[in-house]
């Protein structure tokens, strides 16, 4: 059994997170429940920042908040001095609602709308990461008509193929994101942006993929970007002050995963950038990174209550829980693997091999194909580890299941961070035919 962060077992044999009994949490808040170990999130944030600091490199660590976006987590990110990567008007709105310092918000996306971009200008955010030529035109139009400045980065695809799931690689050439570094598109974007009166081009951005376990791909990407930076300096006398190398650092979901310590990636980046800039006599840029999963992934645990069980003789036993693909789409979507424990009997031998199924009307709604539990019985509390990233943020209301509640635990205390959806919430946007006929709505 592998525990993460502050997880432990108390005298009752119950799993604890942040010093709080998870069985108590299940009772207080109901299940499914996503529980965050906030001390672990803070520890990860500090480790990234410290590593840059000890390498003597100016840096911004931006939380890639698509991993889990909520007002409360933005507040914690702010407390830790993180910057914020948002990818939509909705995430920006959440950041604004959390009072996040606008100058540390970076706006991503491959199809930002005119409205979203205007919103970014309204809020005077720190930086727009420009993805494509249409966006260059939109940003120029807005900046010129308002006569307002905006910092931008050019997002490029460095042509690096990192070993990860196909659906989550983004740095290769055939990608919907960014300007190609090799075929001239990045250069053209540069020409369109570098001497604009209202647009301050800070530098370049790339993100090569997600759940990456090696530093080589990051080194190659950094080298490719630095080469381009040098060529822009040589040709145009332009010096980039920011090099954003994205996120994607892998975490341990199961024992097959062997991630490096988060600082190893940052160390490697700092080393490459320091040595290349030194030898090219290029002023050291700030390095920005955007970790999502590696900041928040293993800080999250989902608690479920077990319900029906079904034995398929000689094949498998299904143990069904009160959530499923609605709160964790990753097994169905990516074949992602997870581990679980019986949170109310952690010390018992976990020797019963079962399949943990969700409650959705879909055969593929299985959370863990091969889980080992402590003689499962109805009413157990199951804890599925490492559900902090891309679980709640990708949750759906399939079968009209309400989204779970989210709780933050730290130093023996718990507080609700996101309310559980109610049935009322589920029909909040629905309109009855009568209401439309009455003209009560348009």
The binding site for ligand LLP (CB under 6 A) comprises: 64, 67, 85, 108, 168, 170, 207, 210-211, 246-249, 290-294, 330, 334, 389-390
Minimum distance, C-beta of residue 114 to ligand LLP, in the bound complex (Å): 21
Minimum distance, C-beta of residue 117 to ligand LLP, in the bound complex (Å): 17
What are the phi and psi torsion angles at 230 (to 5°)?
A: -65, -40
Q: Based on CB atoms, which residue is closest to ligand LLP, 25 or 395?
A: 395
Q: What is the CA radius of gyration of the chain?
A: 23
Q: Based on CB atoms, which residue is closest to ligand LLP, 138 or 295?
A: 295
- In whole angstroms, give the CA distance from residue 275 to residue 281: 10
Minimum distance, C-beta of residue 410 to ligand LLP, in the bound complex (Å): 22
Q: Based on CB atoms, which residue is closest to ligand LLP, 83 or 305?
A: 83
Q: At what angle do helices 185-193 and 216-236 cross, to 10 degrees?
A: 50
Smallest CA-to-CA distance from 357 within 306, 400, 312, 392 is with: 306
Sheet holding 20-21, edge to edge: 8-9, 15-17, 20-21
User: Which positions ≥6 away from 12 have C-beta within 8 Å?
Assistant: 21, 23
- In whole angstroms, give the CA distance from residue 105 to residue 77: 11
Q: Based on CB atoms, which residue is closest to ligand LLP, 228 or 345?
A: 228
Smallest CA-to-CA distance from 109 within 204, 203, 187, 177 is with: 177
Q: Based on CB atoms, which residue is closest to ligand LLP, 29 or 41?
A: 41
| The pair of three-digit structure tokens given for residue 152, joined into one six-digit string | 């931008």
CA-to-CA separations, 62 to 106, 290, 437, in angstroms, rounded:
8, 5, 48
- In whole angstroms, give the CA distance from residue 355 to residue 397: 23
Q: Based on CB atoms, which residue is closest to ligand LLP, 64 or 136?
A: 64
* Interior/surface letters 339-369, b for 16+ CB within 10 angstroms, e for the rest: bbbbbbbbeeebeeebbbbbbbeeeebbbbe
Q: Based on CB atoms, which residue is closest to ligand LLP, 338 or 408?
A: 338
Instruction: Please indicate whether residue 206 is annotated as part of the active site.
Output: no
- In whole angstroms, give the CA distance from residue 285 to residue 200: 15
| The pair of three-digit structure tokens given for residue 439, joined into one six-digit string | 């003209």
User: Which positions ≥6 away from 428 have C-beta within 8 Å?
Assistant: none
DSSP state of 168: G
Q: Are 149 and 143 within 8 A, CB to CB?
A: yes
> DSSP strand E in 87-149: where?
105-107, 127-130
What are the phi and psi torsion angles at 274 (to 5°)?
A: -60, -45
Q: Based on CB atoms, which residue is closest to ligand LLP, 329 or 374?
A: 329
Minimum distance, C-beta of residue 260 to ligand LLP, in the bound complex (Å): 13
- In whole angstroms, give the CA distance from residue 81 to residue 430: 40
Catalytic residue among 206, 240, 361, 409: 361
| Residues classed as catalytic | 361
């Amino acid at each position: 059994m592998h525990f993460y962060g502050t997880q432990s077992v108390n005298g009752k044999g119950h799993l604890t997170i942040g010093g709080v009994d998870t069985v108590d949490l299940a009772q207080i808040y109901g299940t499914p429940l996503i529980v965050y170990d906030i001390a672990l999130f803070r520890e990860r944030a500090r480790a990234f920042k410290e590593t840059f600091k000890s390498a003597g490199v100016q840096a911004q660590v931006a939380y890639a908040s698509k991993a889990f976006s909520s007002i409360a987590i933005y507040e914690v990110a702010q407390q830790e001095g993180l910057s914020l990567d948002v990818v939509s008007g909705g995430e920006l709105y959440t950041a604004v609602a959390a009072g996040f310092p606008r100058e540390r918000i970076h706006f991503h996306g491959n199809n930002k709308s005119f409205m979203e971009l205007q919103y970014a200008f309204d809020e005077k955010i720190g930086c727009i990461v420009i993805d494509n030529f249409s966006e260059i035109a939109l940003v120029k139009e807005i900046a010129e008509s308002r006569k307002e400045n905006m910092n931008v980065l050019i997002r490029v695809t460095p042509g690096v193929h990192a070993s990860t799931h196909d659906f989550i690689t983004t740095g290769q050439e055939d990608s919907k994101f960014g300007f190609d570094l090799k075929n001239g598109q990045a250069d053209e974007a540069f020409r369109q942006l570098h001497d604009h009166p209202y647009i301050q081009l800070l530098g370049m951005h790339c993100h090569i993929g997600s759940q990456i376990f090696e530093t080589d791909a990051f080194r190659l990407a950094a080298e490719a970007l630095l080469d381009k930076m040098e060529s822009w300096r040589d040709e145009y006398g332009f010096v980039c002050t920011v090099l954003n190398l994205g996120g994607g650092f892998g975490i341990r979901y199961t024992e097959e995963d062997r991630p490096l310590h988060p600082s190893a990636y940052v160390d490697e980046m700092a080393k490459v950038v320091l040595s290349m800039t030194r030898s090219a006599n290029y002023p050291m840029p700030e390095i920005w990174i955007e970790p999502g999963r590696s900041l928040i992934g293993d800080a999250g645990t989902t608690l479920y209550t077990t319900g029906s069980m079904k034995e398929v003789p000689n094949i498998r036993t299904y143990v069904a829980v009160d959530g499923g693909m609605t709160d964790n789409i990753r097994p169905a979507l990516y074949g992602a693997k997870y581990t679980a424990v019986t949170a109310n009997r952690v010390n018992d031998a976990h020797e019963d091999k079962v399949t943990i199924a969700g409650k959705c009307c879909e055969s593929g709604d299985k959370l863990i194909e091969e889980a080992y539990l402590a003689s499962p019985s109805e009413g157990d509390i199951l804890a599925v580890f490492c559900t902090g990233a891309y679980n709640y943020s990708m949750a759906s209301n399939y079968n009209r299941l309400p989204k779970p509640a989210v709780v933050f635990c730290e130093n023996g205390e718990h507080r609700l961070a996101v309310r559980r959806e109610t049935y009322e919430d589920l029909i909040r946007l629905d309109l009855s035919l009568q209401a439309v006929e009455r003209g009560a709505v348009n």
